[in-house]
Chains A and B, each alone.
Chain A
Amino acid sequence: MLSSIKSHIPGWSVFFQALITLVVPLLIYRIYKALTSLADDKLVSSGGADSSDEEPTHPISASYDANIDEIRNTIGINSDVVIRELTMGDAKVRAALIFVKGMQEDQLLKMEIMRMLRDTEPDHPLPIIERLPTNAAHTISTMEELTKAVLFGYLALMIDGRDEGFLINPPSGPARDITEPVSESLLRGSRIGFTEDINVNTAMLRKQGVTENLQVRSFMVGHTIQKELAILYLDQIVNPDLLREVTGRIEKIKLDFAAESGYIEQMIEDNYLSPFQQTQNTERPDRVIAALLEGRIAILLDGTPFALIVPVTFSMLLQSPEDYFERWMPGSLLRILRFLAAFIALMAPSLYISFISFHPGLIPTELALTIIETRQGVPFPALIEVLILEIAIEILREAGIRLPKPIGPAMGIVGGLVIGEAAVKAGIVSPFLVIVVAVTAISSFSIPMYSAGITLRLLRFVAMLFASILGMFGTILFFLLICCHLSKLKSFGVPYLTPLTPFRWSDWKDFFVRVPIFMMKRRPKLMKTMQNKRR
């Protein structure tokens, strides 16, 4: 009886394996928890410090001299601050225009204001603000506000005997022309791209079409240097919970200075350990409007042409506005092609490694013989061989960005050809690999989102390591790992892989295939929009 039970008890090695399979996932889970809590700690610890920097405010006094002195003491030491004093009319009331050089380019306006002030009697019946020859003017009452506004580029006016200042004309500093978006150029579609000025950018979005629903809400981000940030959404469409989440996260941002929207992206993303981006960045106003219509939210930051779109799903990274501009069949074809390209960009080198090093039987015989012949002189294992060429290509690509414009593209092509050819001649790599690497490089360029391309480039190297250790088995493991991660990843509460998982059949209309526009009657289900119907 006992012996019959005993024979069913497995040996110690089975128990050891069971222990390992129990401990390893737990360990990974613990590490993951620890790493994510690291991010939370940072947020909390930096959040505690800010309550103390409330400074006492200085109201603007009625004494002109006191005010001017104070301005001279605070911001007057800057060589680019101009304080132009003048006298009003015959009453000899003193006044001053204060501005920063280079930020008030409108000479005519300054002349007009000065002439008006000179000609005005202080006891004029109309308040002075109504007589200023500009449409943008308002009064302020504290010194801090005034100095800040002047440094930001406003034209300030102080008049003797008044305990208030006038801010005239918002800054009109040097701005770049509106140009075609460099990172997302299309053959068909508008040629307009965002610029660095947030007001121009919001105006561009307004100009896309007339709607009363487009709402813009402004925030200031940055502690040391403040910057304007705007979130845009369509009022009747956006899900209020999503809006609350986004505003909540933006209000929580603790930053010294937001140099680019990438800073914002990294402060509000869900999972900092994921290699995949959880916001979409774009230079194209049409892309932003399309996203808003799907119920997404756009985040614009002053000083950068890159707007952020949240939440983002995986399929968005492989979509291009052209899919919709072209007719549905070519649009769908190109889209499927891009999915294929993404797969190649991610897996091709690792498949090469696993075929060459582990599974020669999976290569068609004729090809296998050719590979054997061409690889006879190659002294390295497949992984090293691939790494040599891949790294060379990546360096070339990185160098191509830095190279001066006229020689950049030439250098890229020549460099690629020369390095590939020379490496084959020198017997470092096999000619077959040159094809693999070239196809991989081309594929990764076909991904419309640059940052998604970087992610795939990064993951490609991980895939290569997996392949070199476990062959095809490792490659499949890697793919499963990516799938697991993606299916768990969320961007602002929206699962990253929708509509694949959770499965939403109705959203497949705009996934691999882009169905004709008349069939897309509803907004994506995944966004849970307030207004479901598109028309």
Chain B
Amino acid sequence: MRSLKFLALLLAVAILITQSGCWSSNEIEDLAVYAGMALDTGEESPEEKTFEQEGGSYSKQNKITATVQIVPLKTGSKDEVKGKTSPYTNITGTGDSILEIFRQFSLRLNKPIIGHHLKIIVISSQLLQQRNIKQVTNFMLRDNDIRPSVKIFLSSGKALEALTIKTPDEVPSFYINDVVQNQFRTSKIMDAVLLTDLDAMMHSKQSFILQNIIQAKKHIEFSGAGIIKGDTGRWIGNLTQEDVECIDWLTNQGDSGTIKTYDEQGNPITYEMKAMKTRIRVESDQDNQLTFQVHVETKGRISEDWDMEGNPALRSYQKEIEKLFKSKLTSMIEHLLSAMQNRYKVDVAKFCQAVRIQKPGLWKEVKSNWDEAFSASKINLDIDLQITDFGSTTK
């Protein structure tokens, strides 16, 4: 009797296990992993228009167009097909809510899409002219699939075109994701802004910049940065590549950087930075008029010099060239400062941090309209550039 009861219990447990089966299990090959996402202004793609003509539509106002890049495309069972097919497929949908668009994809795809491996989000600056970045990225911040380490980029042209660039045997999303690694070679690439950074910056209501991508004939270039105004969350303009470079000089973050200038004869000479140290001191008078003393200290080498006469080993020659570089760097930084203070009236070079740390009392007062206070402030530049090295040859 007892053993019978025991047997029944064992059976019950066995049934429980087998019936519940594989809860929420979903084999990896039955999922569509998307690696990149592009957000554009609401404009239906040609195939969507055709769908609509056939009657495939639902109630929507076409506020946004979302494109996801699904990898890898089924390569076919044998190797011979490989090489002909592209390693990815893009799918575009237009609608009002990103989640709804994604659910709509389920009508067109044979697998559910998952965002665990999302690497980049490219947002067209045109879209951000119309909508607040908070609205556009709301879904990505809420979704539990998408990692907070997704990199955010802006695109001058259509964002979805950044996902269709020609890359040899590589997925455009990964390609763009990897370009950021070249940062150690040029400071024209800014630190990647991750989704979590974006969240923090949007909450702080300070203006910030996002890496801009431009396209030409299915090729891309990282070029400058788009400025997002803090209080409106809209895109207001772009900084140039040299401006982005100078932001690194000002925020003391550059670990790579070159300055190219010309001597009197028009020969190009290039300075390669090896070490830098930037200090910003904040001063203020009675009416809260701010003055920033920016002190840039840098050491580096002459990496390229087309001048055939001068002897770079001579200290006098070096001093001469130092002056040239100094004036070039000053003009570059001043270009950035004028763009920030006069043209866009935003602080995207973290001057606010200096104020917050050095004058906390004052910061509380100016915090609410910092961009205006910054635009009205005076900035004094003091550059100390020193050439320590001229490479392995004097000529």
A375 CB–B CB distance under 8 Å: yes
Interface pair B35/A365, CB less than 8 Å apart: yes
Q: In the docked arrangement, what's the CA distance between A362 and B6, Å?
A: 40
A50 CB–B CB distance under 8 Å: no
Interface pair B24/A358, CB less than 8 Å apart: yes
Q: Mark A367-390, 1 if CB is under 8 A from B, else 0.
A: 011011101111001110000000
Q: In the docked arrangement, what's the CA distance between A357 and B35, Å?
A: 19
Known: A361-B145, A365-B119, A377-B77. A465 touches B29 (CB 8 A): no
B22 CB–A CB distance under 8 Å: yes
Q: In the docked arrangement, what's the CA distance between A468 and B21, Å?
A: 8
Query: Which residues of the partner chain B approach A316 to less than 8 Å between Cβ atoms?
Result: none
B129 CB–A CB distance under 8 Å: no
| Choice from B2, B27, B74 contacting A382 with Cβ under 8 Å | B27
Tell me how many residues of A have a C-beta within 8 Å of chain B.
28
Query: Which residues of the partner chain B approach A357 to less than 8 Å between Cβ atoms?
Result: 22, 25-28
Tell me how many residues of B have a C-beta within 8 Å of chain A.
29
Interface pair B22/A468, CB less than 8 Å apart: yes
Interface pair B71/A369, CB less than 8 Å apart: yes
Interface pair B116/A361, CB less than 8 Å apart: yes
Query: Which residues of the partner chain B approach A361 to less than 8 Å between Cβ atoms?
Result: 114, 116-117, 145, 147
CB proximity of A128 to chain B, nearest CB, Å: 63
B75 CB–A CB distance under 8 Å: yes
Query: Which residues of the partner chain B approach A330 to less than 8 Å between Cβ atoms?
Result: none
Interface of chain B residues 11 through 43 with chain A (CB within 8 A): 17, 20-29, 31, 33, 35
Interface pair B22/A369, CB less than 8 Å apart: no
Q: Is the interface of A mostly helix, strand, loop or mixed?
A: helix
Interface pair A31/B9, CB less than 8 Å apart: yes
Q: In the docked arrangement, what's the CA distance between A361 and B22, Å?
A: 18
Query: Which residues of the partner chain B approach A91 to less than 8 Å between Cβ atoms?
Result: none
Q: In the docked arrangement, what's the CA distance between A49 and B50, Å?
A: 91
Q: In the docked arrangement, what's the CA distance between A371 and B27, Å?
A: 11
B72 CB–A CB distance under 8 Å: yes
Query: Which residues of the partner chain B approach A372 to less than 8 Å between Cβ atoms?
Result: 28-29, 31, 33, 72
Query: Which residues of the partner chain B approach A365 to less than 8 Å between Cβ atoms?
Result: 33, 35, 117, 119, 174
A360 CB–B CB distance under 8 Å: yes
Q: In the docked arrangement, what's the CA distance between A34 and B5, Å?
A: 12
Q: In the docked arrangement, what's the CA distance between A453 and B29, Å?
A: 33
Interface pair B119/A356, CB less than 8 Å apart: no
CB proximity of A45 to chain B, nearest CB, Å: 16
Interface centre among B21, B22, B33, B145 (most CB of A within 10 A): B22
CB proximity of B90 to chain A, nearest CB, Å: 16
Interface of chain A residues 1 through 55 with chain B (CB within 8 A): 31, 34
Query: Which residues of the partner chain B approach A371 to less than 8 Å between Cβ atoms?
Result: 28-29
Q: Mark A340-363, 1 if CB is under 8 A from B, else 0.
A: 000000000000000111101111
Q: In the docked arrangement, what's the CA distance between A64 and B6, Å?
A: 63
Q: In the docked arrangement, what's the CA distance between A468 and B174, Å?
A: 31
Q: Mark B105-129, 1 if CB is under 8 A from A, else 0.
A: 0000000001011010000000000
Known: A365-B35, A469-B23. A373 touches B28 (CB 8 A): no
Q: In the docked arrangement, what's the CA distance between A376 and B25, Å?
A: 17
Query: Which residues of the partner chain B approach A363 to less than 8 Å between Cβ atoms?
Result: 28
Interface pair A373/B27, CB less than 8 Å apart: no
Closest chain B residue, CB of each to CB of A365: B117
Interface pair A376/B74, CB less than 8 Å apart: yes
Q: In the docked arrangement, what's the CA distance between A360 and B119, Å?
A: 15
Closest chain A residue, CB of each to CB of B77: A377
Interface pair B26/A376, CB less than 8 Å apart: no
Known: A361-B114, A365-B117, A373-B75. A356 touches B27 (CB 8 A): yes
Query: Which residues of the partner chain B approach A178 to less than 8 Å between Cβ atoms?
Result: none
Q: In the docked arrangement, what's the CA distance between A368 and B70, Å?
A: 13
Closest chain B residue, CB of each to CB of A366: B174
Interface pair B20/A469, CB less than 8 Å apart: yes
A285 CB–B CB distance under 8 Å: no
Interface pair B77/A376, CB less than 8 Å apart: yes
CB proximity of A287 to chain B, nearest CB, Å: 39
Interface pair A369/B24, CB less than 8 Å apart: no
| Choice from A358, A368, A377, A465 contacting B117 with Cβ under 8 Å | A368
B residues contacting A by CB (< 8 A) are 2, 6, 9, 17, 20-29, 31, 33, 35, 71-72, 74-75, 77, 114, 116-117, 119, 145, 147, 174
Pick 5 A–B contacts, CB within 8 A, sort by A. A34-B2, A355-B28, A358-B25, A360-B33, A376-B29
A residues contacting B by CB (< 8 A) are 31, 34, 355-358, 360-363, 365, 368-369, 371-373, 375-378, 381-383, 465, 468-471
